[in-house]
């Protein structure tokens, strides 16, 4: 249980599956919070799953009746993230954790950042994989070895599964930003920001016309060379390999960490304490606690997300309306 409580009121906006996951963490941490839902159906499902009352009527009604909370977690659909976060910040909420990627495209995310800057609000983006137990262990080993030297990562998606999801067309069309950015964000969080980036795309899918295959390489500001590959028309899964001068660290799947040490070709599993990742949605406990505690070092600031959007757009072949 956390040794700190939020300084002021805390709202969890949303009553869908992801909001329920946040509710489980906040309840386990012993925080006082209110869940703001919109539809009766989602509110009832959330209450049945979590045992926590949900305030019906939506965010605007809650703001009109009660005024803004001091802190808020936004866990709604991707197509509503920017609008909900903007409404909170505009109303006066000073600190907001919004689910990744914070908007359906670069222009929405950039607009949210501007509102946050004008309001002097802290807006953080919820990339929970930064907080996986496997990633925390990998980060520690990378730091022990003096930093990464190279990295290769895989960004293939299960296109058949994505095509069958009940999602707005705009979210599916920006699926690289909406979902695949998890992997890219993780890599650059571990290895530094890219200062050189060469990319190539090919193909298209009916629901993702911009691209279906991705390759590229580059160099980060920490001197780490990297390359990546993804083919959404072929089987595969996400994966990351980071090399240091002493080890090769393999995150495939991302929830597991394996390692080869210098002088050996054997890749062995690393023993990690992943109890919280088994009890809650992986990474979400650490993410939520960092937000509540104000420990921003590992959190993605909206300003950082705006900068990253240019990278995501380039890798995915999206056209930024302001580019």
Asked, for residue 6, whether it belongs to a domain, the answer is: no
pLDDT in tens, 114-164: 999 999 999 999 999 999 999 999 999 999 999 999 999 999 999 999 999
63 lies in some domain? no
With beta carbons less than 8 A apart as the criterion, state whether 56 and 81 touch: no
Q: The pTM is what?
A: 0.94
pLDDT bucket at 6, cuts 50 / 70 / 90: low
pLDDT band at 319 (very low <50, low <70, confident <90, very high): confident
What is the C-alpha radius of gyration for the chain, rounded to an integer number of angstroms?
Answer: 20
Paired tokens of 54: 């949900």
Going from the C-alpha of 65 to that of each of 56, 62, 82, the distances in angstroms are: 12, 5, 22
- E runs forming strands in 239-322: 239-243, 247-251, 258-261, 268-269, 300-301
Q: How far is residue 167's CA from residue 254's CA, in Å, rounded to a whole number?
A: 24
User: What residues make up the domain containing 166?
Assistant: 132-273
User: pLDDT tens-digit profile of 57-92?
Assistant: 999 999 999 999 999 999 999 999 999 999 999 999
CATH of the domain at 145: 3.30.360.10
Asked whether residue 5 is domain-assigned, the answer is no
Is 261 contained in some domain?
A: yes
Through-space distance between the first and last CA atoms of the chain, rounded to whole angstroms: 46
Contacts of 182 (CB under 8 A, 6+ apart): 100, 127, 129, 238
- In a domain, residue 56? The reply is no
> Considering the domain boundaries, does residue 99 fall inside one?
no
How many structural domains are present in the chain? Answer: 1
Q: What is the pLDDT of residues 13-65, one digit of tens each?
A: 999 999 999 999 999 999 999 999 999 999 999 999 999 999 999 999 999 99
Cβ distance 37 to 46 under 8 Å? yes
DSSP 8-state assignment for residue 255: T
Q: Assess if residue 122 is contained within a domain.
A: no
Residue 112 lies in a domain: no
Residues 6+ apart with CB under 8 A from 134: 251, 254, 255, 256, 257, 270, 272, 274
Burial-class residue 141 by CB neighbours within 10 Å (0-12, 13-18, 19+).
middle
């Amino acid at each position: 249980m956390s040794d700190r409580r939020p300084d002021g009121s805390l709202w969890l906006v949303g009553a869908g599956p992801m909001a329920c996951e946040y509710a489980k963490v906040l309840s386990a941490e012993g925080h006082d919070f209110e869940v703001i839902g919109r539809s009766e159906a989602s509110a009832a499902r959330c209450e049945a799953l979590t045992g926590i009352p949900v305030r019906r009527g939506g965010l605007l009604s809650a703001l009109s009746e009660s005024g803004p909370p001091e802190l808020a977690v936004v866990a709604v659909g991707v197509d509503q993230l920017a609008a909900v976060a903007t409404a909170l910040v505009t109303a006066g909420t000073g600190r907001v954790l919004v689910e990744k990627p914070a908007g359906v495209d670069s222009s929405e995310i950039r607009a949210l950042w501007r509102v946050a800057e004008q309001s002097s609000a802290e807006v953080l983006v919820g990339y929970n994989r930064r907080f996986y137990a496997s990633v925390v262990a990998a980060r520690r080993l990378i730091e022990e070895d003096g930093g990464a030297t190279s990295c290769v990562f895989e960004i293939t998606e299960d296109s058949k599964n994505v095509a069958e999801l009940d999602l707005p067309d705009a979210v599916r069309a920006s699926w690289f930003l909406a979902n695949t950015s998890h992997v890219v964000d993780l890599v650059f969080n571990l290895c530094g920001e890219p200062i050189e980036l060469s990319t190539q795309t090919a193909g298209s899918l009916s629901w993702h016309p911009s691209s279906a295959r991705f390759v590229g390489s580059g160099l980060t500001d920490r001197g780490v060379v990297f390359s990546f590959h993804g083919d959404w028309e072929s089987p595969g899964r996400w994966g990351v390999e980071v090399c240091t001068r002493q080890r090769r660290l393999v995150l495939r799947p991302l929830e597991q960490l394996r390692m080869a040490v210098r002088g050996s070709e054997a890749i062995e599993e690393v023993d990690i304490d992943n109890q919280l990742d088994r009890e809650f949605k992986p990474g979400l406990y650490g993410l939520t606690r960092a937000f509540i505690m104000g420990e921003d070092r590992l959190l993605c600031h909206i300003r950082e997300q705006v900068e990253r959007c240019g990278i995501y757009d380039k890798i995915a072949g999206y056209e930024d309306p302001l580019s």
